[in-house]
Amino acid sequence: MSNLTIISLPIGNQKDITQRALEALESNKTFYAEDTRVFKELLKTYGISYQDKFIDSFHDQNQEKVNQIIEKIKSGVEVCLVSDAGSPAISDPAYPLMKAVVEENIDVDTIPGVTSVIVALELSCLPPHPFHFWGFTGRTNSERTQFFDSLKSIKGTHIYFESPHRIYESVQNFFDIYPENTLVVTRELTKQYQSVYRLKKADLGKVEEIIMQKGEFVLLFHNEEQKGEGVVSSKKLLELVEDYMNEGGSPKKLAKIFSQITGEDTKAIYDKISRR
């Protein structure tokens, strides 16, 4: 049986392609791409003919297309998956296909390359351990505010994508939750107009002058470990829970309170409390 190969492509600078990726693009015959036109133009850039290749689109989670790809692999066809830029597994819809392929006991291989997540982390000069990647934020102010608020208790450097159409609002939403923090905004990574902005809340009034609302954005900020009076130890927290329960407190009400604090599912918390 053949396998599925994930190929990472340059995110901006076409010179960043690896030798292995070039060899795979040249030798393989069956490709599924985010945008077939973009992929064909890339092949032309590297002097690779696509006249004898099968190139089809894969840009959604259509189960029929997933099944079609799986049947091709089972029939002995080596299938390669690419996106317009970077890794198909990072922000593009490779995961549903990868999951389905593994469930069919088909091997998945990868030809790695540049990813904007790591490039942005390096340029940010923020602490790299640990770091958390969250993909795109929500589309509305309330969704983004809730997203930022949910990260307060998670130590490390947080990395996420943002649309150029929402960049100004997203920066405002961030500083509503983290007024004392620094937000690193990276734009057009590895391209001619690559930019890195390190913003404080004081920059909000001129953020439209600082950041060009154009291109692709990766944003980062760092959370230090929470310390001080507001932090309750696990032992103390358990003691408080036991006192509450011993005084006739409602487990359901307590579960709802902890759900709001931690973001964990209410039922899951209730089950834990009930087992005590």
The 10s digit of each residue's pLDDT in 33-45 is 999 999 999 999 9
- Phi/psi for 124 (5° steps) reads -70, -30
Q: pLDDT by residue for the chain (276 residues), tens digit each?
A: 799 999 999 999 999 999 999 999 999 999 999 999 999 999 999 999 999 999 999 986 677 899 999 999 999 999 999 999 999 998 667 888 999 999 999 999 999 999 999 999 999 999 999 999 999 999 999 999 999 999 998 999 999 999 999 999 999 999 999 999 999 999 999 999 999 999 999 999 989 888 988 889 999 999 986 554 444 445 556 666 677 777 677 877 777 777 766 666 777 777 767 765
| pLDDT score at 246 | 74
| pLDDT score at 10 | 96
Specify burial of residue 252 (Cβ count, 10 A radius: 0-12, 13-18, 19+).
middle
Full set of structural domains in the chain with CATH:
4-114 (3.40.1010.10), 117-223 (3.30.950.10), 234-274 (no CATH)
Supply 52's token pair.
């004898």
| pLDDT score at 250 | 80
Supply 207's token pair.
């953020």
Taking CA atoms, 37 is separated from 41, 44, 50, 132, 139, in Å, by 6, 11, 11, 33, 28
